[in-house]
């Protein structure tokens, strides 16, 4: 029987062949609890009668959505998490280090072939290193904390092939937005999206993270890449036979196969207020912009900051545009300071904030009001996510965001 990448990962974990639709119980390699869900997970964990966690070295507790606290109730999550970590001996607690999905691979936790779960839908991000990862609710997470296991239905897989060289100003963000537009917001529900092709092979791990991160926006259970030399260098592990085996078989069965030629792709945006409402930037240029947000677990990495800084060097933001930059992690922040990127962004007029989720989840400075327009490099443009329900949110690549910063409007032209 020929297998997809996800089927191989599950088979390795359970010790026998699997096929789509099988119900299996997997041993969890990593679980991540964020500050939003911490107190709920803890309550359920205690309600279930557990007296110890399955392995304190395989649990990450990360404060990112509420950092720094903007409401008094936010601090309750921190106190609850700290008490739990101390009581059960958790060894991986991040309080001000950045966004959970950035840290789970950046800090060296999730590796190729791992199975990971987190209390946030964008846990799918770790597919960038060839892991199966997905978001779950706090009741399921409480059970994993106590047992180290969870049942899973093996998903079908969608194969996405992208070949060729991306045109100038087209990034992996444009690629995944185009895919979401074609699949629609529910087109990959409970399926694994397997990304492959020469364009994908040429991408950095950071660019792949952008795509795996947004796989959930079309309903996918996870979005995954075949691990290669770049993956192993990023993870700090050898590219050995155990990693080389983590690839789909020729002739594996897919529910659907999508083919894209990179040279035919153009800059796009997700227009208000649906992630699959995708339009070429050339069709919507001229829309006036009140704010631009560069950051999130989708596009808050050093590569993204470099794209914007390269365009803003020696330039200033439009006078009426508020430009907010939120690095995905403390490591990204430090690297951007060391190489002069932050100086360029600051000189251009950026407001640079603490690493974390920031404006993406509407819990930090920068929220907008009725009728205002924001260009965001994040992953969701739902009604009310960044302010009132009448805020217009456009999702864009860092390059298109930078153009809007300078022009004060949506544009794909030179600025």
What is the tens place of the pLDDT at every residue in 296-313? 999 999 999 999 999 999
The reply to whether 171 and 209 lie within a common domain is: yes
The reply to whether 251 and 278 lie within a common domain is: no
Confidence category of residue 287, pLDDT binned at 50, 70, 90 = very high
Mean pLDDT of 48-56: 98
On whether residue 414 sits in a domain, the answer given is no
What's the CA angle centered on 267, arms 266 and 269, to 5 degrees?
130
The reply to whether 10 and 111 lie within a common domain is: yes
Confidence category of residue 255, pLDDT binned at 50, 70, 90 = very high
Is the predicted pLDDT of residue 243 greater than 90, yes or no? yes
**Residue 281 domain boundaries:** 269-407
Is the predicted pLDDT of residue 334 greater than 90, yes or no? yes
Instruction: Give me the CATH number covering residue 33.
Output: 3.30.499.10
The reply to whether 193 and 76 lie within a common domain is: yes
- At 389 the pLDDT is 96
Rg (CA), the chain: 21
On whether residue 190 sits in a domain, the answer given is yes
Residues whose CB falls within 8 Å of the CB of residue 241, separated by 6 or more in sequence, listed in order: none
The reply to whether 162 and 298 lie within a common domain is: no
The reply to whether 335 and 234 lie within a common domain is: no
On whether residue 180 sits in a domain, the answer given is yes
Count: domains in the chain: 2
Mean pLDDT of 119-131: 98
Is the predicted pLDDT of residue 70 greater than 90, yes or no? no
Confidence category of residue 73, pLDDT binned at 50, 70, 90 = confident
Among 15, 12, 43, 13, CA closest to 28: 13
What is the tens place of the pLDDT at every residue in 170-222? 999 999 999 999 999 999 999 999 999 999 999 999 999 999 999 999 999 99
> How many DSSP H helices and E strands does the chain contain?
16, 18
The reply to whether 125 and 244 lie within a common domain is: yes
The reply to whether 99 and 217 lie within a common domain is: yes
Confidence category of residue 364, pLDDT binned at 50, 70, 90 = confident
Mean pLDDT of 381-406: 97
Among 166, 167, 169, CA closest to 411: 169
C-alpha span between 412 and 397 (Å, rounded): 11
Confidence category of residue 69, pLDDT binned at 50, 70, 90 = confident
- At 72 the pLDDT is 83
On whether residue 412 sits in a domain, the answer given is no
Is the predicted pLDDT of residue 350 greater than 90, yes or no? yes
Is the predicted pLDDT of residue 122 greater than 90, yes or no? yes
On whether residue 11 sits in a domain, the answer given is yes
Confidence category of residue 38, pLDDT binned at 50, 70, 90 = very high
Q: Which residue reads 């720094």 in tokens?
A: 68
Among 291, 293, 288, 340, CA closest to 314: 340
The reply to whether 197 and 323 lie within a common domain is: no
The reply to whether 277 and 140 lie within a common domain is: no
To the nearest whole number, what is the mean pLDDT of the chain? 97
Which phi-psi region, left, alpha or beta, contains residue 24 (left: φ > 0; alpha: ψ -120 to 50)? Answer: beta
Is the predicted pLDDT of residue 404 greater than 90, yes or no? yes
**Contact of 222 with 128, CB cutoff 8 Å:** no
The reply to whether 234 and 293 lie within a common domain is: no
- At 92 the pLDDT is 98
Residues whose CB falls within 8 Å of the CB of residue 307, separated by 6 or more in sequence, listed in order: 171, 397, 398, 399, 402
* Boundary (domain end) residue, out of 261, 288, 318: 261
The reply to whether 101 and 124 lie within a common domain is: yes
> Is 136 strand, coil or helix?
coil
C-alpha span between 248 and 228 (Å, rounded): 13
- At 311 the pLDDT is 98
Confidence category of residue 152, pLDDT binned at 50, 70, 90 = very high
On whether residue 242 sits in a domain, the answer given is yes
């Amino acid at each position: 029987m020929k297998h997809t990448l996800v089927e191989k990962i599950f088979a390795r974990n359970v010790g026998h062949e699997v096929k789509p639709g099988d119900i299996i119980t997997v041993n969890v390699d990593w679980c991540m609890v964020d500050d939003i869900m911490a107190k709920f997970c803890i309550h359920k964990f205690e309600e279930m009668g557990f007296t110890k966690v399955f392995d304190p070295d395989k649990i990450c507790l990360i404060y990112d959505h509420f950092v720094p606290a903007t409401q008094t109730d936010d601090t309750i999550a921190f106190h609850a998490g700290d008490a739990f970590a101390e009581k059960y001996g958790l060894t991986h607690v991040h309080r001000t280090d950045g966004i959970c999905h950035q840290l789970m691979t950046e800090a060296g936790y999730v590796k190729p072939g791992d199975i990971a779960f987190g209390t946030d839908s964008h846990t799918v991000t770790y597919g960038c290193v060839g892991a199966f990862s997905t978001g779950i609710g706090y009741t399921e997470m409480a059970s994993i904390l106590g047992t180290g296991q969870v049942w899973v239905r093996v998903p079908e897989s969608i194969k996405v092939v992208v070949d060729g060289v991306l045109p100038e100003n087209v990034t992996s963000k444009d690629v995944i937005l185009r895919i979401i537009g074609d699949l629609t917001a529910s087109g990959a529900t409970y399926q694994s999206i397997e990304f492959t092709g020469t364009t994908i092979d040429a991408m950095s791990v950071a660019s792949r993270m952008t795509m795996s991160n947004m796989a959930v926006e079309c309903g996918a259970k996870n979005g995954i890449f075949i691990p290669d030399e770049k993956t192993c260098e990023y993870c700090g592990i050898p590219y050995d036979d155990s990693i080389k085996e983590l690839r789909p078989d020729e002739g594996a069965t897919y529910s659907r196969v999508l083919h894209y030629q990179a040279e035919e792709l153009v800059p796009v945006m997700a227009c208000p207020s649906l992630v699959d409402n995708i339009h070429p930037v050339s069709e919507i240029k001229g829309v006036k912009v009140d704010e631009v947000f560069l950051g999130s677990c989708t596009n808050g990495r050093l590569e993204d900051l470099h794209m914007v800084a390269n365009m803003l060097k020696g330039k200033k933001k439009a006078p009426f545009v508020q430009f907010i930059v939120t690095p995905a992690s403390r490591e990204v922040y430090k690297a951007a300071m060391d190489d002069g990127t932050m100086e360029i962004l600051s000189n251009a007029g950026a407001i640079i904030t603490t690493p974390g989720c920031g404006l993406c989840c509407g819990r930090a400075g920068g929220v907008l009001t009725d009728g205002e327009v924001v260009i965001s490099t994040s992953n969701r443009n739902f009604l009310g996510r960044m302010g009132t329900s009448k805020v217009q949110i456009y999702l864009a690549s860092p390059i298109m965001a930078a153009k809007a910063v300078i022009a004060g409007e949506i544009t794909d032209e030179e600025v």
